[in-house]
C-alpha cells in the first residue's frame, strides 16, 4: 500500500477541493509538528521529569501539571514565527497571545487545549491536544479577544492528537475527517483512515456516573432508560465507557459510535457546563459533524452558539446522531 503523508494529503486536498491555501497548510503542518514534540515528551514520562504538578493554577483555577505548561509552550513557540497566524488563544492562558511584532502577521487564529485529560498524565492513560483554526475578521488591526468570539460554524479547520499506544492526529478542514498515525521511526504522519464515519445508532455511552445525584431530570431520564437495558423502554443493552480524557472518548466514538455527555448539573447552577466552548466543544463538534454525527449543548446545535467570552463553558452532548437527537429532545421537552 502506498503511504500518503500529511503534507501530500494537504496538497492533494487543495488541488481537489481548493480548501487548503498554502498558509493554512503551513499552519496545520506546524501544529502537527508541535504535537509530535508533545508526544515525545509524554512518551518519556518520568524519565523526562515531566510528571506531577507545577504548583501553579491556570485561568480556570485548575492545578497545572508540568506537561500542561510544557505543551502550551511548545505550541506557542512552534506557531509564533511562521507568518500564518495573527494571534493564539489557549485554555491555559488568561488572555490571547498576539504574534510578536518581530514576526509577520498572518490571516488565521489558532485556539488550543494543549493537553486534554491531564488527570490521566501520571497514570499513563491516553491524553491529547485539541486545536481549532479561525479566520481573522476582515480589516482586523491589533487582534483582541473579541476577534476570537466566532461561532464554531466559522472554523476553517479543527483537529486533535491522541497520545496513546499509537500517536494519532485526527483532522478536518470541512471536507470529511481523516486520521494520521505517527510513524515514530520515520517521524512522519501517515494517512491511516479516510473519511471516518460515526454510526447513527449505538449501544455505548460515556458520562461520569459519579455525578448522577447532581444531574438535571432530562439527563437522569435518558441514562436511566439506557441502564434499564433490554427489558427497558430502549429495548437494548447499553455499555458505559468513561476515560475522563475527552480526546480518547471522542476518538472511540469516531471509530465505533457512541454518545459522550458532559452535562451541566446542580452543583453550580450558574455554570452552563464544565467543558470549554472555544477549546474543546467547538473543535470536537466540527469533527463529529463532519463524520456524520451530531453535537448540542442539550438545547441547540453547538456550532451555532455565539461565544460571549474566551473561556466560556458549555454542556456537551455529542456522537451518534440518533442518540444526541434523543437526549436533546428530552431537554427541549
SS3 sequence of the chain: CCCCEHHHHHHHHHHHHCCCCHHHHHHHHHHHHHHHHHHHHHHHHHHHCCCCEEEEECCCCCEEEHHHHHHHHHHHHHHHCCCCEEEEEECCCCCCEECCCCCCCCCEEEEEEEEECHHHHHHCCCEEEEEEEEECCCCCCCCCHHHHCCCHHHCCEEEEEEECCCEEEEEECCCCEEEEEEECCCCEEEEEECCCCCCCCCCEEECCHHHHHHCCHHHHHHHHHHHCHHHCCCCCCCEECCCCCHHHHHHHHHHHCCEEEECCCCCCCCCCCCEEHHHHHHHHHHHHHHCCCEEECCCCEHHHCCCCCCCCEECEEEECHHHHHHHHHHHHC
Predicted confidence at residue 173, as pLDDT, reads 97
Predicted confidence at residue 1, as pLDDT, reads 72
CATH fold label, 6-193: Fructose-1,6-Bisphosphatase; Chain A, domain 1 (3.30.540)
183 is in an annotated binding site: no
Predicted confidence at residue 49, as pLDDT, reads 82
| 52 pLDDT tier (thresholds 50, 70, 90) | confident
8-17, 46-55, 272-281: range with lowest mean pLDDT: 46-55
Predicted confidence at residue 51, as pLDDT, reads 83
Q: What is the mean pLDDT of residues 9-36?
A: 96
For the chain, give the mean pLDDT: 95
Stronger pLDDT, 62 or 13, i.e. the higher one: 13
Query: What ranges do the domains of the chain cover?
Result: 6-193, 204-332
113 is in an annotated binding site: yes
Summarised one tens digit per residue, pLDDT across range 305-325 is 999 999 999 999 999 999 999
171 is in an annotated binding site: no
Predicted confidence at residue 135, as pLDDT, reads 97
Contact 140, 147 (CB under 8 A): yes
274 is in an annotated binding site: yes
The answer on pLDDT for 61 being more than 80 is no
The answer on pLDDT for 129 being more than 80 is yes
91 is in an annotated binding site: yes
| 190 pLDDT tier (thresholds 50, 70, 90) | very high
pTM above 0.85, yes or no: yes
For a pLDDT cut of 90, what percent of the chain falls above it?
89
19 is in an annotated binding site: no
Considering only CA atoms, give the Rg of the chain.
19
Q: What is the mean pLDDT of residues 54-74?
A: 84
The answer on pLDDT for 9 being more than 80 is yes
The CA distance from 85 to 81, in Å, is: 9
CA 210 to chain centre: 23
Beta strands 85-90 and 294-296, pairing class:
unpaired
Residue 290 neighbours by CB distance under 10 Å: 21
What are the φ/ψ torsions at residue 198 (nearest 5 degrees)?
-90, 125
| 70 pLDDT tier (thresholds 50, 70, 90) | very high
Q: What is the mean pLDDT of residues 86-99?
A: 96
Predicted confidence at residue 193, as pLDDT, reads 98
CATH architecture of 204-332: 3-Layer(aba) Sandwich (3.40)
Q: What is the mean pLDDT of residues 25-50?
A: 94
210 is in an annotated binding site: no
119 is in an annotated binding site: yes
117 is in an annotated binding site: yes
| 66 pLDDT tier (thresholds 50, 70, 90) | confident
Amino acid at each position: 500500500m502506498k503511504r500518503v503523508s500529511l503534507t501530500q494529503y494537504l496538497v492533494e486536498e487543495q488541488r481537489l477541493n481548493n480548501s487548503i491555501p498554502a498558509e493554512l497548510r503551513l499552519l496545520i503542518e506546524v501544529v502537527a509538528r508541535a504535537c509530535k514534540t508533545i508526544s515525545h515528551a509524554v512518551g518519556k514520562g518520568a524519565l523526562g521529569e515531566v510528571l506531577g504538578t507545577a504548583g501553579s493554577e491556570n485561568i480556570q483555577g485548575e492545578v497545572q501539571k508540568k506537561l500542561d505548561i510544557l505543551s502550551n509552550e511548545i505550541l506557542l513557540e512552534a506557531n509564533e514565527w511562521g507568518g500564518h497566524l495573527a494571534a493564539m488563544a489557549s485554555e491555559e492562558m488568561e488572555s490571547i497571545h498576539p504574534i510578536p511584532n518581530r514576526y509577520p502577521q498572518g490571516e488565521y487564529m489558532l485556539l488550543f487545549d494543549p493537553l486534554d485529560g491531564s488527570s490521566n498524565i501520571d497514570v499513563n492513560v491516553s491524553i491529547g491536544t485539541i486545536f481549532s483554526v479561525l479566520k481573522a475578521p476582515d480589516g482586523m488591526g491589533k487582534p483582541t479577544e473579541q476577534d476570537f468570539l466566532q461561532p464554531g460554524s466559522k472554523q476553517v479547520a479543527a483537529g486533535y492528537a491522541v497520545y496513546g499506544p499509537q500517536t494519532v492526529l485526527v483532522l478536518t478542514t470541512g471536507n470529511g475527517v481523516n486520521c494520521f498515525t505517527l510513524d515514530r521511526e520515520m517521524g512522519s504522519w501517515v494517512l491511516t483512515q479516510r473519511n471516518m464515519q460515526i454510526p447513527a445508532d449505538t449501544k455505548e455511552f460515556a458520562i461520569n456516573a459519579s455525578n448522577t445525584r447532581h444531574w438535571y431530570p432530562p439527563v437522569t431520564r435518558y441514562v436511566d432508560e439506557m441502564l434499564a437495558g433490554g427489558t427497558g423502554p430502549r429495548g437494548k443493552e447499553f455499555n458505559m465507557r468513561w476515560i475522563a480524557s475527552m480526546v480518547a472518548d471522542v476518538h472511540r466514538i469516531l471509530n465505533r459510535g457512541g454518545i459522550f455527555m458532559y452535562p451541566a448539573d446542580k452543583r453550580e447552577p450558574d455554570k452552563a457546563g464544565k467543558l470549554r466552548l472555544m477549546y474543546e466543544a467547538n473543535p470536537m463538534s466540527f469533527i463529529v459533524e463532519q463524520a456524520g454525527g451530531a453535537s448540542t449543548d442539550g438545547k441547540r446545535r453547538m456550532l451555532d452558539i455565539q461565544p460571549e467570552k474566551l473561556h466560556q463553558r458549555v454542556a456537551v452532548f455529542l456522537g451518534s446522531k440518533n442518540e444526541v437527537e434523543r437526549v436533546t429532545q428530552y431537554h427541549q421537552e
